[in-house]
Chain A
Amino acid sequence: MKKVAGWFKKQNKYFLVGLAMTGLAVVLGILSFFWTPYGPTTMSAAERFNAPSFRHVFGTDNFGRDIFSRVMQGIGTTVIVSSLIVVISAGAGILIGAITGYFGGILDEAIMRVTDAVNAFPSILLALVVISILGSGKQNVIFSLGIVFTPSYVRIVRSEFIRLRDADFVCRARLMGVKKLRILFVHILPNIFSVFWVSVTIGFNNAILAESGMSYLGIGVQPPDASLGKMLSDAQGYLGRAPWYALAPGLTIVWIVLGFSLLSEGIRRKEASKK
């Protein structure tokens, strides 16, 4: 018990608040796989547009579904989907950015041009292409958004690798005869994480929002399943009549993203204070 208290004392406030916020969201999300107060898709004609109350903490939607239950389910889906999007795009970004940044030259030029092109390419069009090649399905939203977000990571990783490729310790690793891949991923990569982490935070935010747009095109979360972004866009039509319908998923997104930002800010400060 004392140990736990001591651990808490050591952390900075940003870290703790961020941890609490994300922790709560994640717990609700995980819980939704086993239990929700009401069925997230159970409709009830008698309870349409109920304002928040003890019965329905966040109120009910146009089908009389319990918004809190749907938000819980939405957190689950949204967090998983956006995490995977971030993992894919960040992973691809690291791979491409590292290679182009470190080696430079023609390959770098070519890949940067493709990156620019993808960057300017409307993601709706890209998503339509992905569906028509791979068919619709939840995994494809992850895939197409993974592609969409890759260029931003490529840029960051690339510039960091350009910065570090001539660093003294990299020079020395080269002299030791360390293999190139090992230099890239064992020697340099761990050094870019503080910068990289910031963009992961931003990317996570964007992924949550982008996912909601995609279900419209037939990829991603399909009704009646809930995702936060989709709930938010569904709710826009009922803004005057049932503002809680939009506020619940909207504020939940803000909650998660803010929690995540604070968490990473906390981690960053912790790292900084170590040095």
Chain B
Amino acid sequence: MKKISITLMALLLVAALGGCAGGKSSGDKSSTASNPTQSNVSGQQGTGTSDAKTEPTYGGKVVVGVQQDIDSLDPHKATAAGTKEILFNIFEGLLKVNENGSLICAVASDYSVSEDGLTYTFTLRDNVKFHNGKNVTAEDVKYSLERASGLLDGTPLISSLTKLTSVDIVDAKTVQVTTDSANLELIYSFTAAIIPAGSGETEGSNPIGTGPFSFVSYKPQEGLVVKKNPDYWQQGLPYLDEVNFKIVSGADTALLELKGHSIDLYSYLTDSQALELANDYQILSAPSDALQAMFLNNAVAPFDNVKVRQAVCYAMDRDLANEFVVGGNGTIISAGMLPTLKDYYVDLNDVYGTGANIEKAKQLLAEAGYPNGIEFSVIVPSNYEAHVQTAEVLADQMKEAGITCKIELVEWNTWLEDVYKGSKFQASICAITSDMTPSYLMVRFQKGHKKNFINFASDEYDAAYKKAEAAMTIEEKAKYYKEAQEIFVKEAGTAFIQDPPITIALSKDLAGYKFYPIYVQDMSTVYFVK
């Protein structure tokens, strides 16, 4: 009777908050944009970013629980968010994102963009060393960028870099990059990792980068260990001697491990787990920068009718979902834009309200020809506990408006194939994650776009988006993006719910943890308090 055991397993697989696991490109955040807000769940501790009162000490080992296994140690090939959050500590690009979402110089010490926006010139920082002890040269930069953009062998590894047409070495300290079209947002792509020339194909036994930590070992299913890079170019960093990114198989196991103090730091806690750990750990929380929504397939009944979509938006009690699933720490949203992208975000929560408007919903359903209500299936990827719980809450709550949701759990890969790629669904609760560019979120809702799995179709929206994309100033961009959001919300393309918080448990002995507006775990600033 071995069989039972196998089936049970499934329950315990990774559960993560935030949607499309592979769905991030490595572009980072605009210089002007956001200040990630940090809130605090437990109220016991100040924000995790800086604790000026405590004295940083050097040394020590930390175990960080991570949820997903590494998909590749090659920084250009890694696509899973869970991998990138670790590799952030090993690799750096010419530029690097800081905790405010701003770009700072890393391997480059300076850069400039030509007036037509087609040519980028980078000056390399002196004495940046790879983990193998060699200095970073212009050759290495050229090799890395060509490899990532596909100029080297025709296979682009990072899609946003496909705009590059050439990478030229001007002198030993200067590299010039030319692109085929001007785009304000391209600069974020230069966070792509710099690796030693030729290492992608020949060296390979060790991932070698320039980051604050260097690679020690990796065991599938167990984790990855890094150690301090003594030659790191940022003076005084990192503090820790060794970090073990340990793969924890599921949220439930993570909780047990935390209780047993076998890990020191863990993100992605659920609300109730956070409460359970509040006495033993510092609990820190910040927006996760993922957009959770009940995605409605605009191409199939009943959601081909805008009134039905609006009815769902009215009927949905986002406050309740926020309260039940994330303990009220989420940010309610109505459109597909991150609140943390302050320049582009427009608060449209008044359109449908954040609570349930049952009367309005019923009225709209009746107008749409469904006086007795509607019934549809909601597909939810079963490995994301928060989405499953949200579905349960909403399904229960929307019954009152005559909206019956049949929850259907599916395995993640099935979700990807059937829902995300195949658009074979009526409704689905999941989240889309983002990099720090507004276009990443907005581009997908253009008619016929390959990522437009909800089949949203609005000429007005497309026009607004096109204008935003072509805009050469941030103000102009923001204006059109906001317009596009308004159109989308009016059409009720999909029923957005919230930007759920990310909640971490941090050992009480540690401080200096910084939240980033992107999905990374920067261990370089973490230290043991005296």
Contacts and interface: CB of A to CB of B under 8 A. Distances in A.
Is B one of A's binding partners? yes
Interface of A: 41-43, 45, 49, 62-63, 119, 122-124, 127-128, 131, 136, 145, 148-149, 152, 202-203, 206, 209-210, 212-218, 222-224, 229, 233, 236-241
A263 to B, nearest CB: 20
Contact of B6 (A45, A122, A212, A237): A122
A112 B25 CA distance: 51
A218 B409 contact: yes
Given A206-B3, A223-B388, A237 B411 contact: no
A63 B411 contact: no
Interface in B357-414: 382, 385, 388-389, 391-393, 395-397, 406-411, 414
Contacts of A241: 272, 275-276
A213 B8 contact: yes
A45 B2 CA distance: 40
B172 interface: no
Contacts, number: 120
B9 A124 contact: yes
A217 B409 contact: yes
Nearest to B275: A241
Kindly name the residue among B4, B7, B323, B396 whose own CB sees the greatest number of chain A CB atoms within 10 A.
B7
Interface stretch (B135-143, B251-259, B286-294): B251-259
A206 B6 CA distance: 11
A206 B382 contact: no
Contact of B324 (A63, A119, A217, A229): A63
Nearest to B379: A218
A206 B407 contact: no
Nearest to B7: A213
Contacts of B8: 209-210, 212-213, 229, 233
Contacts of A233: 8, 11-12
Contact of B251 (A131, A136, A237): A237
30 contacts: A43-B396, A45-B320, A45-B324, A123-B4, A123-B7, A127-B7, A148-B7, A149-B1, A152-B1, A202-B1, A206-B3, A209-B7, A210-B3, A212-B7, A212-B11, A213-B7, A213-B10, A216-B382, A218-B414, A222-B406, A223-B388, A223-B391, A223-B395, A223-B409, A224-B407, A233-B11, A237-B272, A237-B273, A238-B272, A240-B259
B273 A209 contact: no
B270 interface: yes
A119 B1 CA distance: 9
A79 B224 CA distance: 44
B420 to A, nearest CB: 15
Mostly helix, strand, loop or mixed at chain B's interface? helix
Interface string B460-493: 0000000000000000000000000000000000
Contacts of B411: 128, 216-218
A54 to B, nearest CB: 24
Contacts of A210: 3-4, 7-8
Contacts of A202: 1
Contacts of B389: 62-63
B252 to A, nearest CB: 4
Given A45-B323, A224-B392, 14 more contacts: A119-B2, A136-B410, A148-B3, A149-B1, A203-B1, A209-B7, A213-B11, A214-B7, A214-B10, A216-B11, A217-B411, A222-B409, A223-B391, A238-B272
B406 A124 contact: no
A143 to B, nearest CB: 14
Contacts of A206: 1, 3-4
Interface string B243-271: 00000000110011001000000000010
Given A43-B324, A218-B414, A213 B9 contact: yes
Nearest to B13: A216
Contacts of B272: 49, 62, 237-238, 241
